[in-house]
Amino acid sequence: TLSSEIPSGSVYILSEEDYLSYRELYQLISHGLYSSSLGMVSLPKWLLLGGIHTTNYLYSLRGREYFFKPWMVDFSLLRYCFDTEKARKELGWRPRHSLRNYLGEILEGLKRDPKGWFTINNINL
């Protein structure tokens, strides 16, 4: 079997390689939901963090939890781009899906049943 052929401790990155910037992702989502690209507003990090902290606090007063957390801001500034060459060469692995191509289906599900979509994806508004 393949598992007996892989050396112990081997690490493989199994990811799509098509990197979508936040700007591209925003444009694809706005176009998918509204059939046009909406303008994007960039905020300074300190203002964004203040807004998230304030919103989290206001939600907590109502006994609810806000989806966005302060730690997400630092992660949003990172660029995740992966090299899957080792998995391709040694395992013959290739991604079968890409977010760019699958995003339309995700957004159609959201438009079809917004409440159900948020529930399934564990997003409390």
Each residue's pLDDT tens digit, 14-36: 888 888 888 888 899 999 998 88
Q: How far is CA 110 from the centre of its chain?
A: 15
Q: Any idea how long the chain is?
A: 125
Against a cut of 0.75, is the pTM above it?
no
Contact present, 50 and 106 (Cβ < 8 Å): no
Contact present, 68 and 43 (Cβ < 8 Å): no
In the numeric block, the tokens 């939901």 are attached to: 33
Residue 3 vs residue 39, higher pLDDT: 39
Average confidence score pLDDT of the chain: 88
Phi-psi region of 45 (alpha: psi -120 to 50; beta: other; left: phi over 0): alpha
